[in-house]
């Protein structure tokens, strides 16, 4: 059994253990206060509205990291409105420079009001990129009818319209126009070719958009990365000029130019026109 040594001062009984604990706490507080006075943030230093005096460096780092997460602004590229073609300007982002801000705080003179040091984050694509695209380098046109197939063609054309492709980037038709059956897309049932047979399928008709794009890309002299012919002839282009797409087959091309290019697609009545601009 452990023995607890008791002693009395002026009628008050103390446990030796309690005394040791209080003594240790007192010593810790004295040492902590000394460290904060000697190594902590100077008296009266504010970052924004927050008083940081006597905070140690690791505490300042934790605080600035938390502040950085709350004040991060992601940059946004300029882009074209698919419906109007209007250029929507870029948005510059920002983030707190953790290292520079902590250093500034730790070295600040007493009674200083500080603001975080920010790093500006540039968007990859600015409105100037779009403004420089002014030359048509390839185009192609096909005719189409109405009904669900016509609606699918118009939707796929809308989705690829005003797509910007960076130098060296590979454009994927499927990535740009899928999913074909979900709440995010409104493709309709229309005839598609499967294994040489014609059956109903969601997105029937979009192969004509891929085909029209394929021929515009060829006319522009861009690199074809992936292209597959139909298993049977189609009526909107001569044999050998078509490009089919499915969940497993894609049409892809690479921008082998040294500048951005733009894909434009529109239906003029019942004529589908795809253009490549640089």
Q: Are residues 236 and 137 in the same domain?
A: yes
Domain boundary among 87, 104, 124: 124
pLDDT of residue 2: 47
The tokens for 169 are: 């980037």
pLDDT of residue 11: 47
Kind of pairing, strands 46-47 and 113-114? Answer: parallel
Q: Are residues 272 and 183 in the same domain?
A: yes
Quick check: is 63 in a domain?
yes
Contacts of 212 (CB under 8 A, 6+ apart): 140, 141, 142, 265, 272, 273, 274
H or E segment and range at residue 96: strand 93-96
Quick check: is 64 in a domain?
yes
Domain that holds residue 78: 42-124
Domain boundary among 104, 124, 144: 124
Q: Are residues 72 and 145 in the same domain?
A: no
Quick check: is 84 in a domain?
yes
Q: Are residues 139 and 116 in the same domain?
A: no
Number of domains in the chain: 2
Q: Are residues 273 and 137 in the same domain?
A: yes
pLDDT of residue 242: 95
pLDDT of residue 200: 61
Quick check: is 11 in a domain?
no
Q: Are residues 169 and 211 in the same domain?
A: yes
CB 243 within 8 A of CB 177: no
pLDDT of residue 188: 76
Q: Are residues 181 and 97 in the same domain?
A: no
Q: Are residues 91 and 205 in the same domain?
A: no
Task: Give this prediction's pTM.
Answer: 0.70
Q: Are residues 174 and 105 in the same domain?
A: no
Q: Are residues 270 and 232 in the same domain?
A: yes
pLDDT of residue 199: 61
Bridge partners of residue 76, in order along the sequence: 91
Q: Are residues 51 and 175 in the same domain?
A: no
Q: Are residues 141 and 229 in the same domain?
A: yes
Quick check: is 100 in a domain?
yes
Quick check: is 10 in a domain?
no
Could you state, in chain order, the average pLDDT of each consecutive group of 10 residues for the chain (278 residues)?
A: 48 53 63 82 95 94 96 92 82 96 96 97 93 95 89 91 94 87 65 63 81 98 96 89 92 96 91 97
H or E segment and range at residue 218: helix 206-220
């Amino acid at each position: 059994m452990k023995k607890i040594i008791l002693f009395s001062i002026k009628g008050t009984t103390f446990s030796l253990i309690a005394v040791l604990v209080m003594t240790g706490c007192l010593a810790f507080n004295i040492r902590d206060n000394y460290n904060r006075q000697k190594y902590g943030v100077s008296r009266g230093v504010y970052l924004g509205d927050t008083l940081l005096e006597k905070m140690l460096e690791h505490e300042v780092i934790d605080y600035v990291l938390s502040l950085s997460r709350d004040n991060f602004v992601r940059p946004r590229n300029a882009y074209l409105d698919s419906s109007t073609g209007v250029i929507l300007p870029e948005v510059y982002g920002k983030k707190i420079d953790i290292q520079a801000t902590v250093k500034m705080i730790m070295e600040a003179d007493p009674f200083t009001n500080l603001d975080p040091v920010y790093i500006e984050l540039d968007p990859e694509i600015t409105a100037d990129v779009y403004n420089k695209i002014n030359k048509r380098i390839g185009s192609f046109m096909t005719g189409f009818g109405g009904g669900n197939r016509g609606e699918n063609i118009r939707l796929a054309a809308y989705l690829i319209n005003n797509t910007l492709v960076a130098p060296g980037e590979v454009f994927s038709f499927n990535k740009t126009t899928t999913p074909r059956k979900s709440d995010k897309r409104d493709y309709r049932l229309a005839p598609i070719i499967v294994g040489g047979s014609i059956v109903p399928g969601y997105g029937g008709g979009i192969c004509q958009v891929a085909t029209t794009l394929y021929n515009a890309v060829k006319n522009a002299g861009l690199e074809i990365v992936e292209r597959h012919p139909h298993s049977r002839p189609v009526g909107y282009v001569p044999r050998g000029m078509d490009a089919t797409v499915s969940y497993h087959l894609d049409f892809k091309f690479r921008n082998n130019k040294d500048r951005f290019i733009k894909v434009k697609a529109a239906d003029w009545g019942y004529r589908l026109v795809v253009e490549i601009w640089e």
